[in-house]
Amino acid sequence: MDTKVCIRFVRSDEREFLIDGTDWKIPSKGLDGFGSYENDITTVDNAVGDGGIIVSDRIAPKDRTVTAISRNPYLNDALRKSAISFFNPKFDYKMYITYMGITRWVEGKIYKFSIPSQNVNRAMEMSITLLSPNPFFKSYDNFGKNIASVVGMCGFPYLCSITSGTPKGITGGKFNFAKKVLLDNDGDVETYCKAVISANGDVVNPKIIINDNYVRVLDNMKANDVIIIDFTQNPPTVKKNGVNFIGHCDRTSAFDDMELPVGSSEISFDADTGSNLMNVSIYYNKLYGAI
């Protein structure tokens, strides 16, 4: 069993801070909120008889605390200055945790930070609390999938000759003209994806379909145009070449129903014309309540 515990903070300006047992170590009770979550359930009492009815449930924003202890008191001065400089409430942070061989991450703001003044010749203790609006851990991989990709193939033996009438080679791959793929979500809850549509020529009114629901963009795409539909944002965003483009979506588009439920989902794409000139990549993270 992998017993290594490592925390890596990445700030919104790309600076990083590592707690991996080198300069800072995590004590036995140094993680709080990583293995639990709270479900906020609202009920209404029955008008007649015992009990009640659950009318809603939600998981609120989540805070998680990391406590770390410095390894070398002789470096306290430098370690303290580095920590105080890095953990700034005005920045956004991603926190990656590796625990028992699994790496997952959350993002949020610094809710609390403490590095008390004490005997300078002893190990320092530091506490960081990150508040995450989205309470779920995300998978380390985003499982990027190009729906229109070339499907790799292989054959044996390989035959190739320049002589007339003899084999000229074998198929090394084929295009996925079915324009659909099954994506597996074995996380704890439903998740959402980001779709990146790029055009290799003229594409009219591209459409992304998840199970029986779709979002259609009314546009005449030209070669090298890129449309990004991001269902992970709240509310979802649609951008063409980096510019807000949500006003060009078909009114029948079902933004609220484009989730990837737990299990398998079929994702496909289409267009009024030019679907064979589309490249569509799907990115999504699986979500977990605890690690």
Residue ranges of domains in the chain, CATH in brackets: 5-45+53-135 (2.40.30.200), 143-288 (2.60.120.860)
Average pLDDT (249-267) is 94
- Whether residue 272 has pLDDT greater than 60: yes
Of the candidates 181, 176, 177, the residue with the CA atom closest to the CA atom of residue 265: 181
- Whether residue 130 has pLDDT greater than 90: yes
Token pair 């809603």 is found at 56
pLDDT of residue 203: 96
Estimate to the nearest angstrom the gap between the alpha carbon of 15 and the chain centroid: 20
d(CA 70, CA 84): 14
Average pLDDT (90-99) is 96
Burial 269-291 (b: 16+ CB within 10 A, else e): bbbeebbebbebbbbbbbbbbeb
pLDDT of residue 148: 65
- Whether residue 158 has pLDDT greater than 80: no
d(CA 190, CA 203): 31
Cα torsion at 217, 221, 225, 227 (round to 10°)?
10
d(CA 148, CA 16): 36
- Whether residue 75 has pLDDT greater than 60: yes
Helix (H/G/I), strand (E/B), else coil: 257 = helix
Average pLDDT (98-109) is 94
Average pLDDT (244-261) is 95
Q: What is the mean pLDDT of the chain?
A: 89
d(CA 24, CA 148): 46
Cα torsion at 175, 180, 186, 192 (round to 10°)?
120
pLDDT of residue 188: 94
Which residues neighbour 219 within 8 Å (Cβ) at sequence distance 6 or greater?
204, 205, 206, 227, 240, 245, 248
d(CA 96, CA 169): 47
d(CA 171, CA 148): 18
pLDDT of residue 216: 97
pLDDT of residue 120: 80
Query: pLDDT by residue (tens digit) across 193-204?
Result: 999 999 999 999
Task: Fill in the DSSP letter of residue 149.
Answer: P
Average pLDDT (25-51) is 92
